Homo-oligomer: A and B are copies of this chain.
Amino acid sequence: MLVNEMTEKDCRDLLARSSIGRLGCSQDNQPYVVPIYFAYELDYFYVLSTIGQKIEWMRANPKVCIEIDEIASESEWVSVIVNGHYQELPEPQYADERAHARKLLEKRYLWWQNALGERQVKSGEELITPTFFRIRIGSMTGLRAIAEGR
C-alpha cells in the first residue's frame, strides 16, 4: 500500500462531492465523534443538526475536526481531515447566513427540505428543533492510499 498526501485541490474536490462526514469535538480532552450531513462551500461546512450533546460541547469549545473519506478497501481509500471552528447561526442576527445555508442544504437533501419547513425530529417523545451551524475551515490535510502494483 502506498500512502501519499493529497493536494489542496484534491481535498476540496472530495469535500465538494461528499455529503457525509464525521465531526469530532472535545471536552476535558474527551473526544466525541458523530456523523453529520453537510453542504460544503468555499471555507465553510453548513450543517443542520438535529440532536445531541455535540452542540453543547462545541459551544463550550469551538475547536472541531471533520473527517471525510471514500473507502473502497483496506488499501484503497482517500481521507481528508479538516480542523475548524464552530459557529452557530441563530436568528435573527444570522438571517442571511441561515437563508444561504438553507438553500445549499435544500439542493441536496430531501429530508431536510421537510425538516427545514414544518417537520421536526422526535427523540423518544420529545420534539427537537434543529440547530443551524457552520464550521469555518482552518486547515486541511488529505491522504490517498493505493494498493501496490497497480
User: A interface vs B, CB < 8 Å?
Assistant: 1-5, 20, 22-35, 37, 50-51, 61, 63-67, 69, 71, 73-75, 77, 79, 81, 83, 109-112, 115, 119, 121-124, 128, 143, 147-148
Assembled-state Cα–Cα distance A26/B50 (Å): 24
CA–CA, A74 to B20, complex, Å?
Answer: 9
Chain B residues lying within 8 Å of A32, measured Cβ to Cβ, are 24, 31, 65, 81
CB of B33 within 8 A of CB of A33, answer yes
Q: Is the interface of A mostly helix, strand, loop or mixed?
A: strand
User: CB < 8 Å: which of B35, B37, B71 contacts A67?
Assistant: B35
* Contact status of A50 and B83, CB under 8 A, knowing A31-B65, A33-B33, A74-B111: no
Shortest C-beta distance, A50 to chain B (Å), equals 7
B4 touches A123 (CB 8 A): yes
As for how many copies of this chain the complex holds, the number is 2
**Closest residue to A3 on the B side, CB-wise?**
B123
What is the bound-complex CA distance between A122 and B115, given in angstroms? 46
**Cα-based distance from A32 to B69 in the complex (angstroms):** 14
- B79 close to A34 (CB less than 8 A): yes
> Are B61 and A29 in contact, CB atoms less than 8 angstroms apart?
yes
Contact of A122 among B1, B26, B109, B110 (CB under 8 A): B1
The list of the 10 closest CB pairs from A to B, nearest first, reads A24-B31, A33-B67, A74-B111, A24-B33, A22-B22, A24-B24, A26-B31, A26-B26, A75-B111, A31-B65
